[in-house]
Amino acid sequence: MARASKGLLSSEERELLEVIGTGNVQKAGLLLGSKNVRVNCLDEHGMTPLMHAAYKGKANLCRLLLQHGANVNCNEHEHGYTALMFAGLSGNKEITWMMLEAGADTDAINSVGRTAAQMAAFVGQHDCVMVINNFFPRERLDYYTKSQGLDIEPKLPIKLAGPLHKIITTTNLHPVKIVMLVQENPLLADVESLGKCCRVLDLICEKCMKQRDMNEVLALKMHYLSCIFQKCSNFLKEREDELNGLLKSLLKGRDTDGFPVYQEKFIRECIRKFPYCEATLLQQLVRSIAPVEIGSDPTAFSVLTQAITGQLGFVDAEFCTTCGEKGAEKRCSVCKMVTYCDQNCQKVHWFTHKKVCKTLQVHEKQDMEAAKVKKKQEKKGSFILLSAVFKMNEGNISNATSLYVLLLKQKNLIQQLDHPAVR
């Protein structure tokens, strides 16, 4: 098919672009059936209908356009934007995933040299960054399930490809979660299988670093997973209680504050052992972690997660204390200071949490007391402020009050408007 030229659109094609804006899938479907509509037509800026739909966050229209043969890697846009970049900018995770599944090139760059993941990060769409950085097509793993060259047997038994792919695409990199995923799958949890997975992960890591479009993020993730698998294998060789022993080591908190020292040291060691010491990403990580004392923020886990998934902020209580899973809502009923996904995660953590639970409870009380005192002081402060404003307005109460409200708004103290003088 001849290359579409920019801006030369039939009236039906113009109508299609308009319909995409409204999100009417049925109408778009009818238009795409017309012989006057080319699915990869270009508007004045070199945007295809798929780019428009991705940018506007219309998932159903994206799906429809892909079914009609939309080219996911078209790069006729005036600034070199691709459909994946538009998906990332829109912040729609589903569309971002769809573009990747349709074969979008994650390494394509725009006219100022930015990839889709970098653009999404720039506008704060961290969920999309996470989707892009953790995408790994199953075919890339299936490659290792076939004998290559002189190999007698494939490097990865076909039965391991599914479970390993599940772990490769996970976005929660908490070591406890990864060990739980290994433990869950009887196919994975033996020394021989773990060894095979380690080798394949190391090979993918090497490939990521040596290919023309180097992918440090993916390489680091593969290396990190390989380190955890190796650790699992070591524990299985030595101990009878299998992986529970490893989980305990990873979760055990120190006596003073419950901080999991072994876990912190383990993650730091994984990062240090990354075999490509010239990698920019590695140097950034080492710079962020090296000056931090063990037990202080940021933890190695948060630095690593931020590097690999683009995810920010671990201070929110919504992450599970045990396995790092997002959306944990159950709190320890005694101290209310730790959150868990479910009873299982709480049970696994209790052997070490019980030592600090009481102390945390005291802390929580102290925190509440401190908050009360602060509130009192703020109230006192606003009363002084009100008196001053009142004096300035020479007793004009309505003027003074409105000025006071304005000041409060500015100071974000609006919740204090229950002051008797204002009511």
Q: What b/e readout covers 23-33, taking b as 16+ CB neighbours within 10 angstroms?
A: ebbeebeebbe
Q: How far is CA 209 from CA 92, 170, 204, in A?
A: 29, 21, 9
Distance from C-alpha of 148 to C-alpha of 138, rounded to nearest angstrom: 18
CB of 252 to Zn ion, least distance (A): 16
Distance from C-alpha of 250 to C-alpha of 235, rounded to nearest angstrom: 12
β-bridge partners, 16: none
Considering the complex, state which of residue 292 and residue 357 has its C-beta at the smaller distance from Zn ion: 357
Task: Kindly list the residues in this chain that would bind Zn ion in the complex (CB under 5 A).
Answer: 320, 322-323, 325, 332, 334-335, 341, 345, 357
C-beta neighbour count of 111 within 10 angstroms:
11
Distance from C-alpha of 169 to C-alpha of 139, rounded to nearest angstrom: 13
CB of 228 to Zn ion, least distance (A): 17
Considering the complex, state which of residue 178 and residue 341 has its C-beta at the smaller distance from Zn ion: 341
Considering the complex, state which of residue 25 and residue 334 has its C-beta at the smaller distance from Zn ion: 334
134 membership: H or E segment, kind and range: none
Considering the complex, state which of residue 206 and residue 364 has its C-beta at the smaller distance from Zn ion: 364
CB of 338 to Zn ion, least distance (A): 6
In this structure, is the dihedral angle defined by the CA atoms of residues 406, 407, 409 and 415, taken in order, positive or negative? negative
DSSP 215: -
CB of 314 to Zn ion, least distance (A): 14
Considering the complex, state which of residue 43 and residue 325 has its C-beta at the smaller distance from Zn ion: 325
Considering the complex, state which of residue 136 and residue 314 has its C-beta at the smaller distance from Zn ion: 314
CB of 342 to Zn ion, least distance (A): 7
Considering the complex, state which of residue 65 and residue 341 has its C-beta at the smaller distance from Zn ion: 341
The verdict on whether omega for the bond into residue 157 sits within 30 degrees of 0, i.e. cis, is no
What would the DSSP string read from start to end of 323-390?
A: T--BT--EE-TTT---EESSHHHHHHHHHHHTTTHHHHHHHHHHHHHHHHHHHHHHHHHHHHHHHHHH
CB of 308 to Zn ion, least distance (A): 19
CB of 324 to Zn ion, least distance (A): 7
Distance from C-alpha of 409 to C-alpha of 412, rounded to nearest angstrom: 5
Alpha-carbon Rg for the chain in angstroms = 28
What would the DSSP string read from start to end of 302-317?
A: HHHHHHHH------ST
CB of 298 to Zn ion, least distance (A): 21
Considering the complex, state which of residue 208 and residue 323 has its C-beta at the smaller distance from Zn ion: 323
